[in-house]
Amino acid sequence: MITEIQIHKPKPMVSINDAGVFDGTSSIGINIKTLEANGPVLITRFYIDGLLLLSALKRHLNNKLPNTTFKEQRAYRGAYHKMSNLVLIEIVAHRLHVKKAPAIGWLEKLYPETADFFLTFPQIQGLNSAWQWYKNGISIPLLRNKIHPYYGTYFPTRFDHLELFDQWLKRYNGPKKTAIDVGVGSGVLSFQMIAQGFQKVFGTDTNPNAVVGLNEFMGATKLSRKLELDIGSLFGKFDKQTELIVFNPPWLPESHLLDNMDQAIYYNENLFPDFFEAAKQRLLPNGKLVLIFSNLAQITNVTKGHPIEKELAEGGRFLLEKCYKKKVKGASEKTKRDQRWRASEEVELWVLIHNKITLLQSEN
């Protein structure tokens, strides 16, 4: 059940004007020209017609745009995002108004007061996939039970960084009274900590869907007494000191090549300085600060800078205790993206401790 919290969801369109129509028989070429001219196209007959049009759009863009390097791939995805989101589909009585369409429970769950509206076809694809994940659950190799990610919530599809964190947790011999999970997402890192004996974990996220989804998933179980959540930036309302702070931040710096910035993937220039300053205030004197990161931005030439290395070199707040690295598994042979850089990718687990000199100076 949706709470009073403002859930992130696709904005419904109650009406559309001057839209082209694709019913499986009209010209794909004409409809692509309509999309290029920023005109909407409505799918009216079969659900698969929307898939056919988007597939044709990809072929069209592949012929027009280079799609080899990492930066070219991002530019291609930006162009596809813009044009594909002009392809629309109608919802009537919380169901897709085309034949042979999937049943998507989110249409009623997220829009209880709006039964008839329009959404873009990629939004519908996202809702459909998210419904299957939510309904059927997703197995995470390091967790006993499946997770059921709420719509619009980040969940891991690769597990190298989770394995690295699990290995570190099993070696951790410090106190386990409390921990803070910054950017809790679907809760995987928190669940790992609880499984390793932490009595209480405080999780925060700027995404309300993550918090609503986790609260719904936990219900009134014992787990709900071990994981307390808050919607907020960085540490949210949690201002007490703790023995362990864990942060799996975005791995890529924010870019203006894409129209929609996903805060789970891209970080802005203020994120790390703000985080380290706030973490300094909340980490107990002998506590550990653990950051899970990657060299992805460096090996793909998105940036030469590394925000954690910069903090250690210039911030003066923390010292490096240990950095563990693990090569990632190769890309799936099914992927269509050129990911030759994956051979050089490593996930990183940074363990930082207080710089006792600056800690004493701040206390005095």
Summarised one tens digit per residue, pLDDT across range 114-167 is 999 999 999 999 999 999 999 999 999 999 999 999 999 989 988 999 999 999
Measured CA angle at 230 (ends 126, 260), to 5 deg? 35
| 3 state DSSP class of 321 | strand
Q: pLDDT tens digits for 193-226?
A: 999 999 999 999 999 999 999 999 999 899 999 9
pTM for this entry: 0.83
Q: pLDDT tens digits for 216-256?
A: 999 989 999 999 999 999 999 999 999 999 999 987 777 64
Which residue intervals of the chain are DSSP H helices? Answer: 28-36, 47-64, 70-84, 106-109, 121-136, 160-171, 188-195, 208-218, 223-226, 271-282, 296-299, 307-310, 356-363
| 3 state DSSP class of 87 | strand
Computed over every residue of the chain, the mean pLDDT equals 88
Q: pLDDT tens digits for 324-340?
A: 999 887 654 444 444 55
User: Where in the chain are all domains bearing CATH 3.40.50.150?
Assistant: 160-363
> What pLDDT sits at residue 363?
60
3-state percent breakdown (helix, strand, coil) of the chain, nearest 5: 35, 20, 40
Q: pLDDT tens digits for 284-328?
A: 999 999 999 987 767 676 667 899 999 999 999 999 999 999 988
Q: pLDDT tens digits for 60-77?
A: 998 887 767 777 788 888
> What pLDDT sits at residue 218?
93
What b/e sequence results for 153-187 when a residue is b if at least 16 CB atoms lie within 10 Å of its CB, and e otherwise? Answer: bbbbeebbbbebbbebbeebeeebebbbbbbbbbb
| 160-363 belongs to CATH 3.40.50.150 | yes
What are the residues facing 291 on neighbouring strands? 247, 350
- What tokens does 276 get? 């380290």
Nearest to 314 by CA among 342, 279, 360, 273: 273
Distance between CA atoms of 274 and 181, rounded to whole angstroms?
Answer: 16
More confidently predicted of 264 and 315: 315
> What pLDDT sits at residue 273?
94
CA 16 to chain centre: 30
In the chain, % of residues over pLDDT 70? 87
With contact defined as beta carbons under 8 Å apart, do 312 and 318 qualify?
yes
Asked if residue 258 has pLDDT above 60, the reply is: no
**What is the Rg, in whole angstroms, of the alpha carbon atoms belonging to the chain?**
23
84-89: average pLDDT: 96
Assign 257 a pLDDT band (cuts: 50, 70, 90): very low
Measured CA angle at 122 (ends 119, 128), to 5 deg? 85
Name the phi and psi angles at 206, rounded to 5: -75, -15
Distance between CA atoms of 238 and 328, rounded to whole angstroms?
Answer: 33
More confidently predicted of 261 and 316: 316
